[in-house]
Chains A and B, each alone.
Chain A
Amino acid sequence: MVLATNVAAFLLLLAAAGAVVRVVRGPSVADRMVALDTLLFIGVAGIGTFIVRTGDTTYVAVLVVAVLTAFVSTVVVARYIEAEMDRR
Chain B
Amino acid sequence: MSVPDLIAAPLLIGGSALIALGSLGLIRFPDVLTRMHAATKAATLGVVATTVAAAVEAGALGGILILVLVVALLFLSGPLGMSLLARVALTTPRRCCHPTPGRCLLPRLLRSRLSHCLAGAPAGSWASCSVRSGSPSSGRWNLT
Contacts and interface: CB of A to CB of B under 8 A. Distances in A.
A61 B50 CA distance: 16
A35 B85 contact: no
Interface string B48-74: 001101100111101100110110011
B119 interface: no
Interface of A: 1, 4-5, 7-9, 11-12, 14-19, 21-22, 24-35, 37-38, 41-42, 44-45, 47-49, 51-52, 55, 57, 60-61, 63-64, 67-68, 70-71, 74-75, 77-78, 81-82, 84-85, 88
A74 B80 CA distance: 9
Contacts of A28: 32, 89, 96-100, 130, 143-144
Contacts of A1: 1, 5, 8-9, 57
B9 A75 contact: no
Contacts of A45: 15-16, 19, 46-47, 50-51
A48 B50 contact: yes
A1 B70 CA distance: 23
Nearest to B22: A38
B19 A15 contact: yes
Contacts of B67: 51, 60, 63
Contacts of B35: 22, 26, 31, 34-35
What secondary structure prevails in chain A residues at the interface with B?
helix
A11 to B, nearest CB: 4
B51 A77 contact: no
A5 B12 contact: yes
A35 B35 CA distance: 9
A51 B58 contact: yes
Minimum-distance CB pairs A-B, first 3: A57-B63, A74-B81, A28-B97
Interface string B93-107: 101111110000110
A52 B117 CA distance: 40
Residue of A17, A19, A27 with highest tally of chain B CB at under 10 A: A27
A27 B130 contact: yes
Contacts of B87: 78
